[in-house]
Structure formats: C-alpha cells, structure tokens
Amino acid sequence: MQALEFYQNLFGDLEIEKQKLQRVLRNYRGVRLGIFLATIIGTYSTFGNQLPFFVIILISIVLFLLVLAKYTDSKTALKIVQHKIRLIHAEISALNGDYSGINAGEKYASNKHPFSGDLDLFKSNGLFAFMNRTSSNFGEKELAEMLMFGNEKPKDVNDIVEKLAQNIEWSIHFRAVGILQSSDKEKDVSLNTILGSTFPLKSWFVIARFGIPFLAFSALILFNIDLISTSLFSMLILLTLIPTSLELKNTNSIASQISSIEDRLVVMRNQLNSLNDLSNDVHNENWISTFFDENPKDIGEELDEFIKIIGRYNTRNNMLLGMAINIFLAWDIRQRISLLNWITKNHMKWNAWEKGLAKIEAYISAATIRFNYPNTIYGQVSEDGERLMEGLIHPLLAHTSSVQNDFSLTTEQQFLILTGPNMAGKSTYLRAIGCAILFANAGFPVFASKYSYPRVQLYTSMRTSDNLTENSSYFFAELSRLRKLMDAVEQNNSTVFVLLDEILKGTNSKDKEEGSYKFMEKMQRIGAEGVIATHDLSLCRLETQNKAFFTGHFDSTILSEELTFDYLLKKGVCQNMNASFLLKKMKLVN
C-alpha cells in the first residue's frame, strides 16, 4: 500500500474513532449530571433519616468517582486520537513537499560544522525538517547529532529503522503520546535538573517522621479524654509544626523544582507504556532491549512512583489540608525522605532512560522516511573498496519525478571535476551525494538504488560568506574553510570525502585558476577524494596529467529561444555555456 493511501485510510479510521469518543464523553457528562440530580433528590427525600441519607451520599460519591475516572480515560484517548490526526495531516503535507509545520532545527546550525550549512541541514524546509518526526527536545537533539556525526554501527541502526517502518501505525501512536502533555518541546526539562539539585536528609528527619504524628495524635487523644487543657493542647500542636516551618523554604523550592519536570515524566511514562505494548510482540523484544539496560516496564513503574511523589507534594498546596497533614503525618518530611530514596536509587539511570527514548524518537523519524519512500535503500559499507552510488536523487526532490544520477570511483580515481552551465544541476548533484553519505553514516535510508561505499568523513566547501563582526573578507573566510578541510584530511585516520563548489571565488581569475589547480593537486596527494564543481575549464587539464582526476558535466540546450535542462550527468567537459544567452534573454545586454 502506498504511504499516501495508508495515511488517508488511517485518517478515516481515526475520524470515526474521534466521533465515537466524543459521543462517549457526552454520555459520561450526562451520567455525571444524572448522578448529581439523583443525589440531590435522594438526600432531600431522606433528610432526617440518618442511615439512608449517608448511604445515598456514599453511593453517589463512589459512582461519581468511577464515572469521573472513565471520563478522564476517554478524554485522554480523545486527545491522543486528535494528536494522531494532526500528525497524519503533517505526513500528507510532507509527501507533497511541504515541511513548513515541522521544526527545522535552526538552533543546531553552525558554520564550524564540516557540512551542515552547505547541505541545508538546518534550514527552513531543509533536510532536518524533512526528517524530523521527534516528539521531545531530547529526541530532536538526538536526531540532529545522528545526522551531523553519524552512528558507530549503522548496520544495527538499519535493522531497527526497518522494524519501526514495519510498525508505522505504532510509531504514530508513540509520537502522539509523546506530545500528550505539552506540544512545546522547548519546555522539556531534563531529569538532570533534579540530579543537579541538593536535597539533604538531615539527621533529625527520621525521628521527626514518627515523632510528630505520635505527639499530635497523643495530644488529640489526651485532650478528648480531658487529661490536658486546651492551652496545652494548642501548644503541643504548634510544637509539631516547628520542624516543618524550619524547612518550609527548602520544601517549597524542592516542590517547585520537581513539579517542573512532571510533564516530562508523564511523557516518558506514556512512551514506555507504548513501548511495552510493542514489546509484547516476541519479534520485537530483542531490539527494544538494546535501548535500555532494564525492562521498560520497570522503568515505567519507577517513573510512576516519582509522579506519585510529585502528586503528594502538590497535596500540600491547599493551606488548611497542608497544615493538617503536616501536623498529623509529618507530610513534608515524609515526602523529602521518599524523594531522596527515589533519587538515591535511580539517579545513575536517568541519562540512560532519556537517551534510550530519545534514540527511539530519532529512529522513528528515519523509519517514517523509509515508509514514506519505499524506494530508498540502506547503504552498505564496502569491505572490498567498492565506491559506487547509483540512482542518486536529492531527498528534498523525492516527491517529484526527480532525475537520477550515479557516482562512482575506480581504484585509480579520487576526484570528479564537474563542469556545466548555470542552473544545470551541479550543486544539486553535489548535495545529493552529500545527503547519501550522511544518511548512510547515520544508518538511515539512502535516496539511491544502490550505495556501496567505505565509511568516509564528509567535508564541504560550497558556500562561504564574509563576517563583518570578525572583520573577515569573503576570500579570507573561504581560505579559512579550505584550511580546516585540509587539516581534516591530513589529521584524519579515515578517508575524507570532500564536496567543493567553485572554490576561490573571491580572487581574480588568474589566481583562482592557479590556486585551484595547486589546491586540488595537494588534496589528491594527501589522500582525499570527492567532487569539485567549477566553471574554470582550465582545471580540467588535471585529467590529462593525473589518472586520479576525471571529468563529467551537466548540459543545457537552447531550442526556439528557450533554455532547457535534462539534469543528466555526462562524461567529459561541458562545451556549452548559457550565461550570454541568459543575459540577452533578460535584456541585460544587447
């Protein structure tokens, strides 16, 4: 079934489910109103008859709580369905090339990164927006890091991504429950914000935990049997509040801190519950265990306990109730002890929990791409030195009838010198190669029909800009970029693959010609490989002098005063240029 048809069918099913849940909620609201009216009538008719009166009150409370619980569950289910519908809308838009509603990850952009700027990784409607299906800030960051730095074992990632792609409906559910509490990723707070806080357990806490309730209940009993006076009773009750009052400032601070991560805990708990549902399938148990050192169900139980602790802290927010439970139960002190015990037991595991869930979100992003574009393949790390990419297309053009091109190197070749007129497809071709390498390094689906290449480090120099704040000219900025690229080649133990687009543009043509020639000679000599796109045809003479270089080109055709492109890579040096034609076409020259 095609992805679009799948989403449309699922959308229809979810609309039916949404309408059903809306009817259920209306029914529960009617039942609640019925219970309320029945309670009023029942209590009015039995008023003065103590036993029936209290029985009706008790039954009404029980029924109301049961209906309220069912109503809350149905309301949560409706929210999840509504989130799923929005996610499916976004997928349908993405299949049509519109990623405007997806976070593009601009905050991860850096001019110092080897390739992210040149490949439009973190640009509006760029590669990250194309890939991003994360639900939390942590998952988003994990995906960004995988795209920028790859994964150590891409083959293992291939297997996980493929399993998730085969469970895409579950993946949508996982994403939906991940945004159930809050759709604002920027409000996500790491559990480490609590880890970095200090909640000291003072020596007198353990004594006060039991001593305060004992004193309060003893005073109450003695007062009721007239063994102590009202003034003494009041003094003893006030005495029970002294330990709580001494720690009130710290308690309020702790309550505020742990409440700030409550939404994050609920989201994680929801995701783990969803993961447990998937792990019930025996085929999925093994790979799910790779994300955590313990059973996700056990992690969920620990998070539930933390959520309960936060709930108990929130109970004290009612002033009268808070005073009563602190007098008779030493509430604040008990919760401090419970919190410290939980942190002591689990603080070494927090990073692993967050990291595991973040990885799943990142892999779901890749799995969604795999599902949406089933013609993608998983890159194979070449063991025999084969360097071949066939049927390459740029991912952002995958929703169109994109032209496919190949790239390969023989054992003697290192650099393709690419020529061609403006707008013929050179830069898109370079970026298609770059995208294939970065996706293969991450273990994500590659937009090609075949990818067999050794693991390489990708570096690019395709766009350079001056920096007025650093008093940096365009030419100096480009030289700095090329210097970093060469340093990477000279210092890196693995092969560096470079993509260069019209280097040394900031100097005169003679310097550009000679500098580009010598730079490429050195890059070849120190072991780099890749592609350089250029308008400087003199650079093509490298092919005749060194077998490590070979040429290819894109071309244009002028028919009936119209410029056309086929965007197909051809062998040799381009002989047709279109700049003069375009100048005349736009009446910029005579």
Can you give the pLDDT at residue 99? 86
492: helix, strand or coil: coil
- 8 Å CB contact between 443 and 161: yes
pLDDT tier at 56, thresholds 50, 70, 90:
confident
CATH fold label, 114-185+192-202+247-372: MutS, DNA mismatch repair protein; Chain A, domain 3 (1.10.1420)
Q: Which of 6-20, 200-214, 276-290, 530-544 has the lowest mean pLDDT?
A: 276-290
**What is the tens place of the pLDDT at every residue in 446-500?**
999 999 999 999 999 887 554 434 444 667 777 888 888 888 888 876 789 999 9
pLDDT in tens, 242-265: 888 888 888 888 888 888 888 888
What is the pLDDT confidence band of residue 107, given thresholds at 50, 70 and 90? Answer: very high
What does the pLDDT read at residue 466? Answer: 43
Residue 282 confidence (pLDDT): 45
Query: Average pLDDT in the 562-590 region?
Result: 70
Ranges of H-type helices in 508-588: 509-525, 542-545, 579-585
- pLDDT for the residue 582: 52
Which tokens in the block code for residue 15?
């609309």
* Predicted TM-score of the model (pTM): 0.86
How far apart (Å, rounded) are the C-alpha atoms in residues 125 and 328? 59
CATH class of 377-585: alpha beta
Give me the residue label for tokens 């390459």: 392
CA 132 – CA 395 distance, rounded (Å): 13
Mean per-residue pLDDT, 97-115: 88
Using CA atoms, how far apart are residues 216 and 153, in angstroms rounded to an integer?
Answer: 62
